[in-house]
Amino acid sequence: MSDTKNGGPAPKPDAAPSPTRRQALALTLLSPMASVPALAQPPLFAGPASQFVQLDPPEDAGSLALTDLAGKSKPLSAYRGKAILLNFWASWCPPCRRELPILRRLQARAAHEPFVVLPVSLDKSAATVTAYLKRLGLADLSTFIDAAGTVASGPKSTQPTPFALYGMPMTYVLDHEARSVGYLVGEADWDSPEGLKLLRFYARAAG
């Protein structure tokens, strides 16, 4: 059967009308798959014992404050705009001793990088930490202390803390908004090209 007006075939009665360009665009924008971008995956990074584990969703930690060896407090929100390597260590931890020189090198590098390195000792006194670092030749390593165990704790702790410890040392990575985005249990070469790539990955969004 023909269309008597233009000579073309008549549309089938059950054929759905083709969407206009504007309708097609609206359908695309309203599609759940189109409206939610895929989450970027961090570069792979691992230490001798385990690999970096991404937290989804990230956990805000900007309201948390750390205490330095002089007893002064500084909130993590003060470092917004940069990625944060938050490393928990102690003088009684042999793997920590191997990792501390790496953190010192990374601190020196961080002056020209979009991240900061914040070691936190779990020792009970600043005097112990100071003497230990001096004995290792790491007196210039800038570190905080969590003597009361209010920032991080293991599974046997009787009080909840913002950061859970599954081993020692343990490192959390925070993004440029001071959100905890992942962790790694055990020592790792954070100053390696792979470690630097991971830290820069979480700092890129700051630009």
For 175, residues 6+ apart whose C-beta sits below 8 A from its C-beta are 58, 83, 181, 202, 203, 205
Question: Residue 16 contacts by C-beta under 8 Å, 6 or more apart in sequence?
Answer: none
What's the average model confidence in pLDDT over 74-99? 96
Strands (E), 28-169: 53-60, 65-68, 73-75, 83-89, 115-121, 144-145, 152-153, 163-164
**Per-residue model confidence (pLDDT) at position 38:** 43
Element (H, E) at 181: strand 179-185
The tokens of 205 are what? 């969004």
Interval 136-172: pLDDT, tens: 999 999 999 999 999 999 887 778 899 999 999 999 9
Mean pLDDT, residues 116-120 = 98
What does the pLDDT look like over 69-84, one tens digit per residue? 999 999 999 999 999 9
> What is the model's pLDDT at position 39?
52
